[in-house]
Amino acid sequence: MTPTLDHVLVAIADPTRRAILGRLSRGPARITDIAAPFEMSLAAVSKHVRMLERGGLVRRARQGREHMLTLDARPLRRVVEWTSRYERFWNDRLDHLEAFFTQKGQVK
């Protein structure tokens, strides 16, 4: 099942989950390896990993009693595609935005 953009974004919206992706960017790892640097229970880490799997960013392969986790960064491409639509707004529209708020004089 292809993860929705919502699931991808929810998956990366948490600093622990982004740190797990950082760890997996250095190579496949067991869930116990991943849990080690975090002061969290294995259950809590597993829950984060499930959110990452739902976002399609982590793949899990069973090796006997162990689970090996691997990064799959491809869903992030969709995040880049979505954000790139707004690229022109942080380039040439800043003046426009500033002009609008200076005119109103009431930035909240």
Instruction: Give the nearer residue to a second copy in terms of CB position, either 39 or 87.
Output: 87
Maximum pairwise Cα distance, the chain:
66
Q: How far is the CB of 2 from a second copy (least distance, A)?
A: 15
Rounded to the nearest 10 degrees, the angle between the axes of helix 76-84 and helix 5-12 is: 100
CB 24 within 8 A of CB 70: yes
The binding site for a second copy (CB under 8 A) comprises 5-6, 9-10, 12-15, 18, 21, 25, 28, 59-63, 68, 70-74, 76-77, 79-80, 82-87, 89-90, 93-94, 97, 100-101, 104, 106-108
CB-nearer residue toward a second copy: 2 or 63: 63
The residues that bridge with 29 in the sheet, in sequence order, are 69
How far is CA 11 from each of CA 48, 63, 72, rounded to the nearest angstrom? 8, 25, 13
* Nearest distance from C-beta of residue 52 to a second copy, angstroms: 13
Shortest reach from residue 99's CB to a second copy, in Å:
11
